[in-house]
Amino acid sequence: MELHSLQQSLGDELTKKSKVSILEANAWCVPIHTLNVTYKPVIRTKMDILMKMLFLSLKEPKFESAEQISEILLVEQLFVEDLLSKMQKTGLITKVESFFQLTEKGQKQFASGIFEEEQEAAVTEVLYSPTHRNFLDGDIEEVLEFEDFPEQIFRYQVQENALKIEDHAVIEEIKSKNDEGDEEGQEKLFITSIDSVEDVQVNDVPCIEFLLYDEEKDLFISRVWNTLINKWDDQLEQLIQEQEKLTWREKFPQN
């Protein structure tokens, strides 16, 4: 894959309008961090009738066995045993002096009507750009296939020796990458906490920059194609425009 060919095709697209001309074209890289994130997922489901009945039965600590509860609720003992086991594992009930008793966590979940079941820790990979101060979507492996990587680094890049990203921002990024169920009663996967964020590598992502002049509108325009997101990058364009807009007319007085 050649960056030069991509630059040529993008330039042809931009100058389709007869009144638009390219004043400058350049290529440079913006650093992107690959992060390995370990997090705790939780499945939330609406409590079914049996679980609600079980919660009601355990509001007062008077049952010692699944057999006693199954006789009261007229439910198969195996179902009760399975549910009691699940509730103990998730910390919703405990045994005090041989009697089942709701924990504070169990009382809260019963009040909400939502059962939360913690899953095994999961690991996912996300891409973060300090220059954008945000996560980006794309395939870093495809970007690395370019043969003619620019040596120049983006002149307004943001460098951070140690990334400082709030957990809530990482959670939102992971959520956006996961398909969550929206239908009534459907299991939904939620993320309650981030265990670790490991900065595993930094890759330079090529970008192609154009400075355009629209003769009809008498307007200078910055366009930047980001090869990672595979589209025009509004954030980088805005950053360049904020820094250089006032200099363009002096630099190109004939336009």
CA distance 208 to 225: 5
**Per-residue pLDDT reduced to its tens digit, 129-173:** 999 999 999 999 999 888 888 999 999 999 887 888 999 999 999
CB 218 within 8 A of CB 226: no
**pLDDT reported for residue 185:** 43
Q: Are residues 223 and 145 in the same domain?
A: yes
Q: Are residues 106 and 203 in the same domain?
A: no
Among candidates 217, 209, 214, 175, which has minimal Cα distance to 192? 175
Q: How many domains does the chain have?
A: 2
Average the pLDDT over 65-74 and give the result.
Answer: 86
Q: Are residues 95 and 168 in the same domain?
A: no
pLDDT band, very low/low/confident/very high, at 179 (cuts 50, 70, 90)? low
Whether 180 shows a pLDDT value over 50: the answer reads no
Q: Are residues 141 and 97 in the same domain?
A: no
pLDDT band, very low/low/confident/very high, at 11 (cuts 50, 70, 90)? very high
Residue 75 sits in a domain whose CATH number is 1.10.10.10
Domain that holds residue 135: 3-39+121-251
Q: Are residues 241 and 142 in the same domain?
A: yes
Q: Are residues 23 and 141 in the same domain?
A: yes
CB 109 within 8 A of CB 92: yes
Which domain-ending residue is among 57, 90, 112? Answer: 112
CA distance 174 to 144: 24
Q: Are residues 193 and 244 in the same domain?
A: yes
**pLDDT reported for residue 255:** 65
Q: Are residues 32 and 151 in the same domain?
A: yes
CA distance 96 to 6: 70
Q: DSSP for 62-75?
A: ---SHHHHHHHHT-
CA distance 10 to 26: 12
**Per-residue pLDDT reduced to its tens digit, 90-129:** 888 888 888 888 889 888 888 888 888 888 889 999 999 9
Which domain-ending residue is among 56, 89, 112? Answer: 112
Q: Are residues 150 and 246 in the same domain?
A: yes
Q: Are residues 97 and 160 in the same domain?
A: no
Phi-psi region of 153 (alpha: psi -120 to 50; beta: other; left: phi over 0): beta
Q: Are residues 156 and 210 in the same domain?
A: yes
CA distance 33 to 118: 29
pLDDT band, very low/low/confident/very high, at 188 (cuts 50, 70, 90)? low
